[in-house]
């Protein structure tokens, strides 16, 4: 009888030790990209990447995991998203909370830093910014599969993103169904729309003539520059090596067409066969994020027209205020249902 208190204390200690030992971890690593190397704006080819490792990763050395690649939005970076610094979201905490809910299975989550001289790569490819498509879908995937205990198969690989990252998700997902089997877009940007024809806006953007001015440019101004850098590069026009879709306040139709052609809803029908190869497609947007909500609904309707199964939801919220909840309650359980865990 006297041993009972000791055994109870020992049991509690053991449970406490196991609980404390099995904690998720994160690493911020460097991955060198030959695809980004040599870009005209001299952004580093060695990219920061945050890797989330689930609680059992250290304790179960023979276990392998599916991988979810997450793409952050414009002006953001992986450091902000994963809590290395203060931000409006901490994805590390969001994933941990999702695991505690019991609706999410353990997986590795990877986020590359796509912040560049123009504050966002658009997850696209040009001589100006470098080949971001190849970096994400080939070099990064190969690096993660070679250095972590992954299930290196398309059925165990997912892709998701917010805003610019949502755009990158549908862009890369529909181009590379042999790499990712399931995709989820959160408030995806850049799906439709024409270039600005506002005289004041055009004048402000055209007044940016030095690299130093990029840092102080407004969101709209730098977004216009980033779009042109990704979709209308020009190796003969330093220091930005891009063509704006207007000059002296007048629209340049040929350049404007290049930007418009990269909008999701204007190019997606070229990739219908690829979209049908995906195992699962999900998307959502907040009703108060009006333009993006309308575009997401149009994408939903287009997929319906082609009889492509997908999950779609609109909800009460704006561009960022519900994203953590949506990832925890919707996106991560979505991948837990659709990725292969063996």
**Same domain for 128 and 39?**
yes
Q: Among 233, 259, 285, where does a domain finish?
A: 259
Q: What is the mean pLDDT of each run of 10 residues along the chain (342 residues)?
A: 45 42 91 98 97 97 98 98 97 98 97 98 98 98 98 98 98 98 98 92 94 92 97 97 95 97 97 98 98 98 98 98 98 98 95
Which token pair is 274?
Answer: 């690829």
Cα–Cα distance measured from residue 65 to residue 1, given in angstroms and rounded to the nearest whole number:
45
Is residue 248, in this structure, part of any structural domain at all? yes
**Same domain for 166 and 207?**
no
Q: Which of 191, 186, 195 is nearest to 122 (CA)?
A: 191
Give the per-residue pLDDT at 166: 98
Give the per-residue pLDDT at 22: 78
Give the per-residue pLDDT at 21: 53
**Same domain for 150 and 248?**
no
**Same domain for 179 and 105?**
yes
**Same domain for 77 and 153?**
yes
Task: Give all strands (DSSP E) within the chain, no chain letters.
Answer: 25-32, 46-53, 67-71, 108-112, 125-126, 130-131, 157-162, 182-186, 246-247, 250-251, 280-286, 311-315
CATH of the domain at 330: 3.40.50.1820
* Residues 47 and 78 sit within 8 Å (Cβ to Cβ): no
Is residue 67, in this structure, part of any structural domain at all? yes
Q: Which residues constitute the domain of residue 230?
A: 199-259
Is residue 4, in this structure, part of any structural domain at all? no
* Count of structural domains, the chain: 2
**Same domain for 153 and 96?**
yes
**Same domain for 47 and 71?**
yes
**Same domain for 216 and 154?**
no
Q: Among 228, 259, 290, where does a domain finish?
A: 259
**Same domain for 95 and 160?**
yes
**Same domain for 230 and 292?**
no
**Same domain for 154 and 291?**
yes
pTM, entire model: 0.93
Cα–Cα distance measured from residue 71 to residue 78, given in angstroms and rounded to the nearest whole number:
8
**Same domain for 55 and 166?**
yes
């Amino acid at each position: 009888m006297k041993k009972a208190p000791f055994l109870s204390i020992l049991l509690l200690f053991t449970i406490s030790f196991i609980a404390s030992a099995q904690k998720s971890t994160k690493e911020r690593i460097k991955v060198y990209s030959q695809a980004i190397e040599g870009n005209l704006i001299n952004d580093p080819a060695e990219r920061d990447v945050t890797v989330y490792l689930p609680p059992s990763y250290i304790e179960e050395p023979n276990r392998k995991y599916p991988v979810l690649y997450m793409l952050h939005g414009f002006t953001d970076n992986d450091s902000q998203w994963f809590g290395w610094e203060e931000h409006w979201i901490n994805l590390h905490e969001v994933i941990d909370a999702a695991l505690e809910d019991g609706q999410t299975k353990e997986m590795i989550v990877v986020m590359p830093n796509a912040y560049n001289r123009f504050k966002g790569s658009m997850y696209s490819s040009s001589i100006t910014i470098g080949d971001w498509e190849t970096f994400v879908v080939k070099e990064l995937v190969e690096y993660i599969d070679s250095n972590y205990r992954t299930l290196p198969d398309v059925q165990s690989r997912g892709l998701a993103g917010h805003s610019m990252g949502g755009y990158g998700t549908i862009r890369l997902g529909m181009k590379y169904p042999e790499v990712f089997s399931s995709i989820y877009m959160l408030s995806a940007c850049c799906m439709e729309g024409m270039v600005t024809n506002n005289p004041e806006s055009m004048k402000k953007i055209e007044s940016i003539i030095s690299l130093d001015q990029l840092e102080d440019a407004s969101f709209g101004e730098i977004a216009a520059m980033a779009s042109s850098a990704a979709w209308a590069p020009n190796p003969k026009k330093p220091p930005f090596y891009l063509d704006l879709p207007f000059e002296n306040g007048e629209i340049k139709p040929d350049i404007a067409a290049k930007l418009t052609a990269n909008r999701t809803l204007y190019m997606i029908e070229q990739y219908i066969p690829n979209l049908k190869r995906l195992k699962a497609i999900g998307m959502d947007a907040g009703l108060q994020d009006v333009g993006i909500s309308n575009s997401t609904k149009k994408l939903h309707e287009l997929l319906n027209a082609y009889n492509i199964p997908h999950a779609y939801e609109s909800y009460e919220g704006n561009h960022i205020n519900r994203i953590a909840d949506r990832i925890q309650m919707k996106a991560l359980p979505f991948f837990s249902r659709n990725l292969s865990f063996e």
